[in-house]
């Protein structure tokens, strides 16, 4: 892709990573991603907003060469994570008079992470501005989206918000702007679930802060830009403020079919009572799909056989991840099969200290589930349906 003009003197100069399939060595990227970087020219100064992942720094430099950019005055570092900051040292080498503009916290982190010399920095306070000549950059401190040092940059005259990871989507596309809202909604929700959900309450505050600004375009640093910002603002608003829905998420493992039999039975029983269930076989599931389901769920039922006293390791992994993502869950239960004895319930309960949930009576079956186990599963389904009704989860 060539650099693309957004408005006269404003260009998209980042890189599209079509083939990346894993982020942070953890998060599946079924649709690739992009590292967006934006060049803004004023009548006097030129700024570059965020850079790209270091693996693609040549793409950025090539774009700057194509635009014949001979000097950059400011490299705005909204976020210190490498997918946006990793090419800063290279850019600073090519443009020796450029200064890095960052929050005081980001400055320290960029020195730690990338060994950028201290004298290359300008730090900015919340709401501080820098003029490029006819164009003004305002820096909005927005800590914890999703690191402690983050800020957003607002280009006043053009009403463009550059929020870096906030509102982003892991999506490789040639479209400069959102064209398929359904596809971008999925990609942005996956992004929110995996990256932003643990900081839901600070994101609520940052969303309120953003609502003070008139925004024509949101230009994030992953995925396409939003020329109808209300689409993504509305989506974020519902993800962080809405009550959970009448949904049970049921991640499970079964080695020999006993836990699976219980899972299938419970799913039927819940569905009959009008509860939506999302079932995930952790042996094969995309963990991002599970994270997305947790955004809306009121209840999680974990299904696991007993393996070497505790839960199956895949179940332990998913449980630790769910605890770290801090979804807005209200109830948790555990079902599964064992052969002779163990500590599945105690071990799983100890893995979810972050979740402010009521634990509903677990159902553990000795071997293949039998009549009494199915009765207990029915009772669990009834309890869940009643609890959801009491809370008006719809």
Q: Which of residues 126-145 bind ligand FMN (CB under 6 A)?
A: none
Please, which residue, 319 or 337, has the CB nearer to ligand FMN?
A: 337
Residue 258 binding target from Fe ion, ligand FMN, none, CB below 5 to 8 Å by type: ligand FMN
Which of 339, 350, 370, 375 binds ligand FMN (CB under 6 A)? It is 339
Least distance between Fe ion and beta carbon 268 (Å)? 41
Asked if residue 284 binds ligand FMN (CB under 6 A), the reply is: no
Asked if residue 307 binds ligand FMN (CB under 6 A), the reply is: yes
Please, which residue, 117 or 257, has the CB nearer to ligand FMN?
A: 257
Please, which residue, 261 or 387, has the CB nearer to ligand FMN?
A: 261
Asked if residue 279 binds ligand FMN (CB under 6 A), the reply is: no
Total number of residues that touch ligand FMN (CB under 6 A): 19
Instruction: Please give the residue whose beta carbon sits closest to Fe ion in the complex.
Output: 81
Residue 81 binding target from Fe ion, ligand FMN, none, CB below 5 to 8 Å by type: Fe ion
Asked if residue 259 binds ligand FMN (CB under 6 A), the reply is: yes
Stretch that binds ligand FMN, among 56-64, 186-194, 202-210, 251-259 (CB under 6 A): 251-259
Which of 1, 7, 367, 386 binds ligand FMN (CB under 6 A)? It is 367
Please, which residue, 52 or 307, has the CB nearer to ligand FMN?
A: 307
Q: How many residues does the chain have?
A: 394
Please, which residue, 164 or 260, has the CB nearer to ligand FMN?
A: 260
Residue 284 binding target from Fe ion, ligand FMN, none, CB below 5 to 8 Å by type: none
Which of 342, 347, 362, 363 binds ligand FMN (CB under 6 A)? It is 342
Closest CA to 345 of 368, 366, 361: 361
Binding residues (CB under 6 A) for ligand FMN: these are 254-260, 305-309, 337-342, 367
């Amino acid at each position: 892709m060539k650099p693309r003009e957004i408005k006269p003197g404003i260009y998209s100069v980042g890189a599209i990573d079509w083939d990346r399939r894993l982020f942070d060595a953890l998060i599946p990227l079924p649709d690739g991603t992009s590292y967006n970087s934006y060049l803004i020219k004023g009548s006097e100064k030129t700024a570059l907003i965020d850079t790209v992942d270091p693996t693609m720094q040549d793409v950025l430099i090539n774009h700057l060469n194509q635009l014949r950019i001979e000097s950059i005055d400011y490299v705005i570092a909204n976020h210190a994570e490498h997918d946006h900051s990793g090419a800063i040292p290279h850019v600073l080498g090519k443009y020796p008079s450029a200064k890095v503009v960052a929050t005081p916290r980001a400055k320290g982190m960029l020195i730690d992470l990338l060994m950028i010399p201290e004298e290359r920095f300008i730090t900015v306070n919340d709401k501080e501005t820098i003029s490029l000549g006819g164009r003004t950059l305002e820096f909005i401190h927005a800590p914890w989206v999703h690191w402690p040092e983050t800020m957003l940059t607002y280009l006043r005259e053009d009403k463009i918000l550059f929020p870096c990871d906030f509102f982003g989507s892991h999506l490789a596309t040639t479209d400069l702007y959102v064209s398929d809202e359904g596809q971008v909604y999925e990609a942005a929700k996956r992004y929110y679930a995996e990256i932003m959900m643990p900081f839901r309450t600070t994101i609520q505050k940052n969303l309120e802060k953003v609502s003070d600004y008139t925004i024509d375009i949101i230009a994030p640093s992953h995925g396409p830009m939003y020329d109808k910002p209300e689409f993504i603002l509305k989506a974020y608003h519902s993800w962080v403020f809405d009550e959970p829905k009448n949904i049970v998420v049921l991640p499970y493992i079964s080695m020999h079919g006993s836990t699976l039999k219980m899972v299938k039975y419970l799913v039927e029983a819940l569905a009959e009572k009008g509860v939506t269930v999302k079932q995930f076989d952790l042996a094969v599931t995309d963990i991002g799909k599970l994270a997305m389901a947790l955004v809306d769920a009121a209840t999680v039922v974990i299904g696991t056989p007993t393996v070497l006293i505790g839960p199956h390791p895949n179940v332990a992994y998913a449980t630790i991840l769910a605890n770290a993502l801090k979804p807005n869950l209200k109830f948790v239960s555990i079902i599964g099969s064992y052969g002779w004895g163990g500590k599945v319930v105690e071990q799983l309960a100890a893995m979810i200290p972050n979740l402010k949930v009521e634990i509903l009576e677990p159902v553990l079956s000795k071997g293949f589930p039998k009549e009494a186990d199915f009765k207990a599963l029915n009772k669990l389904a009834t309890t869940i349906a009643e609890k959801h009704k009491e809370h008006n989860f719809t």
